[in-house]
Amino acid sequence: MKTDGCLGGPGVRLPAWLGRYRYVLLIAAVGVLLLLWPASRPTEASAPQPPVTFSLAEFEEHLAGALSAAGGVGRVRVVLTLRTDMETLLPQEESVSERRSWDDGRLSDYDVRTDVKTVVTSGGGGDGPMVVGRVYPEFKGALVVCDGGGDPSVCLRVVESVAALTGLGSDKIAVIPMEKSRTGRKAE
């Protein structure tokens, strides 16, 4: 029995090109299997996510720390005002029901009731509302009091920095010099 140019046992005849590319086909088949293999099994209990919060005082502190590290700025105090606070968006199901009453062919009573319910999920961290998104605070204005507030080049750098971090326009940011410390004077 002659098996030149064939793969397989007796009675099985495969084309000759299949024998030449058998390793390529084997690697391709293994690759397809690896792509279909699940990466990880979903877990029932996932770690609860900490709530996302925004603290204006902490943001002011971080901003003051960053500004004070810039050359010529010196000591810094930052005061920010908010136009809107942080808002968490929750999915809601809304149902509308209408009730009409007719008296002698005339509409005597018409009532529309709208029920809005927040969608709640149950997961590993317990029952709670599902969060669709968050709207972060919008700033209204900024006041920066710093040692270098009398120098126009320092003021420009401070205004540009605050504008970049808060989204405020330069017309909503005031930079003023900090009062000189009174150390060295004797109290009278």
Say which residues have a Cβ less than 8 Å from residue 121's Cβ, sequence separation at least 6.
127, 128, 129, 130
State both tokens at 50.
């900490």
Where are the domains positioned within the chain?
56-86+137-177, 88-129
pTM over 0.75: no
Structure tokens belonging to residue 179? 């009062």
Rounded Cα distance between 107 and 91, Å, is: 36
**pLDDT (tens digit, 9 = 90+) per residue, 51-89?**
667 788 898 999 999 999 988 899 999 999 888 777 766
d(CA 127, CA 141): 39
pLDDT on residue 184 = 47
What CATH architecture does domain 56-86+137-177 belong to? Answer: 2-Layer Sandwich (3.30)
89 and 132 in contact (C-beta within 8 Å)?
Answer: yes
* pLDDT of 188: 42
Dihedral of CA atoms 115, 118, 122, 127 in degrees, nearest 10, equals -110
- Model confidence at 129, pLDDT cuts 50, 70, 90, reads low
% the chain with pLDDT above 70: 71
Q: Which residue has the higher pLDDT, 99 or 124?
A: 99
pLDDT tens for residues 27-39?
Answer: 888 888 888 887 6
Q: What is the mean pLDDT of residues 109-135?
A: 70
Q: Side chain identity at 26, as an amino acid letter?
A: L
